[in-house]
Amino acid sequence: MDPTQAAFAARAKHAARATSALHRKQATAQAATRNVGAQVATRAMDLVGTPYRYGGTNPQNGLDCSGLVNYVYRDVHNVKLPRTSRELSQLKGPKVARGDLKAGDLVFFKTGQRSGIDHVAIYLGNDRFVHAPRSGESVRVDHLSKPYWTKRFASAKRVLQQPTTLAAETTSVADKPRTKRTRKS
């Protein structure tokens, strides 16, 4: 092998290692996101049966829809979120297509009780979500494919990208400014 071929082979080997490391890092981040969402979904399921209470923010006194979301995210990941469903829907961060929903994502509805977004729930997976529906009822699980919810589905957001990091606050490597490297002589 001549020196040019050897140098090319060495660069190719280095590039393959770097690509492999990047793929491992991405897979780890994806697994962490799944775990974060699963933790949120599991905690939300623990609250099924909690009575609805307008303005309620804790399970001891009752929860409304945004109170449920706030309580779960604060309890599981110590993340403080906006208080109302409308404010939650305006969080920065990636919108999620209905077909790409993952456990822990927030789903927003327009039920017609007020103008705009007026209901929020936590997606569990397999077309199911947990929410605090209305006075006289309790936190329960419903299906997005039910005609009532399909008709009223407005949008969805992924609040957490990485463990305990708000999606709105995450930055990718591509977003960070490059620093100039200097060679030591």
Residue among 131, 151, 157 nearest 142 (CA)? 131
Helices 65-77 + 3-46 axis angle, to 10: 130
2 versus 55: the higher-pLDDT residue is 55
pLDDT of residue 169 exceeding 50, the answer is no
Give the model confidence (pLDDT) of 12-39 as tens digits: 565 556 555 554 544 444 444 458 999 9
Looking at the chain, the whole-number percentage of residues with pLDDT higher than 90 is 63
pLDDT of residue 83 exceeding 50, the answer is yes
CATH code that applies to domain 31-169: 3.90.1720.10
Q: Where are the alpha helices (DSSP H) in 47-122?
A: 65-77, 85-89
* Domain range list for the chain: 31-169
The pLDDT value recorded for residue 168 is 45
CA dihedral 170, 175, 179, 181 (to 10 degrees): 100
User: Strand pairing partners for 16?
Assistant: none
Residues tagged active-site = 65, 119, 131
pLDDT of residue 112 exceeding 70, the answer is yes
**CA gap 49, 172 in Å, rounded:** 39
